[in-house]
Copies of this chain bind each other. A is one copy, B any other.
Amino acid sequence: MTVTLADVAARAQVSPATVSRVLNGNYPVAAATRERVLRAVDDLDYVLNGPASALAAATSDLVGILVNDIADPFFGIIAGAVQSEIGGPGGRAGGERLAVVCNTGGSPERELTYLTLLQRQRAAAVILTGGAVEDAEHAAAIAGKLRRLTEAGTRVVLCGRPPSPETGAVALAFDNRGGGKRLTAHLLGLGHRHVGYIAGPRERTTTRHRLEGHRAALAAHGVDDDPALVVHGPYDRRSGYDATSELLRRAPDLTAVVAANDTVALGACAALRDQGLRIPADVSVAGFDDLPFSVDAVPALTTVRLPLHEAGARAGRIAMGKEEAPPGGVATVHGELMVRGSTAGAR
């Protein structure tokens, strides 16, 4: 039937333990015997049984990555970067680790379910990406789960998500508040006074922080914060389109729109064009994240660049213990304001 380590041992005239040592490369083995074992492995087309190894060694080579939506490049870029760093020292099919990507859709329930599943797999590490839902009950449940994971030896890293104290999780938080503030300040500096804001979904840390930044900039410039100029919606193109139409209806004198992210901004641009408004001559538009397509929008999108790849890679390295965690277990990753053609002076 299926060939086992014992079969390999028999064929190579050694003990199963020796085969194991050769395959894991952790103990010294004479070159000659190693050769013999490897030949037997090839001859028999032997493939190690992962579950059995994991059971015996009480560790696995699975790394969990929780994302809101893997179809969104924001998460795809982070996930790809993480993956590029979780490989072991290389060698044959040796040090490799596998990335388990879990689409939570932003639902705390699914987040919990997936964390349990990863715990069940005895994942070597878990990386949670993107903003968290701001619900006390769920936050507590997730914090509890994270604590149990770290206690069991699973490294937990939050990437683009605020710290979760007392859980042992390392956090690389994005400076959404600061980025949002600089972005709106840029618009106010251009003379805009009626700035619409398309916020992300309610009760999300990312949404709140970006919005707080926006409001901080308004306050700093002494501009009135009109609640009618803020509309909430999901992080998709459609939301940007609809919200912009709504904002235009509420405030025809709008001269600028700040979107929750670049994807939403693209929808906003489409809505403006469909209304016969020029960008930026009539209305300026700004996004957030600086996804790859944003520079190719017409006009190119003013936005806040988040170093998604770097952050994901760093999260991966920390999760693998290749890089030291930041002091206090928390680091803030800053964005960079990218001023492009989609914003200009108010008409």
Q: What residues on B are CB-neighbors of A148 within 8 Å? A: 45
Contact stretch, chosen from A75-83, A125-133, A163-171, A326-334: A75-83
Q: Are A70 and B51 in contact (CB under 8 A)?
A: no
Q: What residues on B are CB-neighbors of A263 within 8 Å? A: 292-293
Q: What residues on B are CB-neighbors of A113 within 8 Å? A: 93, 96
Q: Are A70 and B83 in contact (CB under 8 A)?
A: yes
Q: Are B48 and A120 in contact (CB under 8 A)?
A: yes
Q: Are A122 and B298 in contact (CB under 8 A)?
A: no
User: Knowing A73-B76, A101-B79, A101-B99 touch, does A50 contact B296 (C-beta < 8 A)?
Assistant: no
User: Knowing A51-B122, A71-B76, A76-B76 touch, does A99 contact B102 (C-beta < 8 A)?
Assistant: yes
Q: Are A120 and B296 in contact (CB under 8 A)?
A: no
A116 vs B102: C-alpha distance when bound (angstroms): 22
Chain A: interface residue total (CB-CB under 8 A) = 58
Contact with B along A18-56 (1 / 0, CB 8 A): 000000000000000000000000000101111111110
A122 vs B60: C-alpha distance when bound (angstroms): 13
20 contacting pairs across A/B (C-beta < 8 A): A2-B152, A47-B116, A47-B120, A50-B51, A50-B54, A51-B55, A51-B121, A55-B55, A71-B73, A73-B76, A80-B103, A83-B103, A93-B120, A98-B102, A98-B121, A99-B100, A266-B296, A269-B296, A293-B293, A297-B298
At the interface, yes or no: A178 with Cβ under 8 Å from chain B? no
**Chain copies in the assembled complex:** 2
A72 vs B72: C-alpha distance when bound (angstroms): 9
Q: What residues on B are CB-neighbors of A45 within 8 Å? A: 148
A47 vs B122: C-alpha distance when bound (angstroms): 10
Q: What residues on B are CB-neighbors of A54 within 8 Å? A: 50-51
A138 vs B292: C-alpha distance when bound (angstroms): 32
Q: Are B84 and A76 in contact (CB under 8 A)?
A: no
Q: Are B98 and A100 in contact (CB under 8 A)?
A: yes
Q: Are B292 and A50 in contact (CB under 8 A)?
A: no
Contact with B along A139-157 (1 / 0, CB 8 A): 0000000001000100000
User: Knowing A55-B51, A100-B100, A102-B98 touch, does A270 contact B297 (C-beta < 8 A)?
Assistant: no
Q: How far is the CB of A261 from chain B (nearest CB, A)?
A: 13
Instruction: Give 8 A-B pairs besides A70-B79, A263-B292 with Cβ atoms closer than 8 angstroms.
Output: A50-B121, A69-B80, A71-B73, A71-B76, A71-B80, A96-B117, A263-B293, A296-B297
At the interface, yes or no: A186 with Cβ under 8 Å from chain B? no
User: Knowing A69-B80, A121-B50 touch, does A296 contact B98 (C-beta < 8 A)?
Assistant: no
At the interface, yes or no: A119 with Cβ under 8 Å from chain B? yes
Q: How far is the CB of A44 from chain B (nearest CB, A)?
A: 12
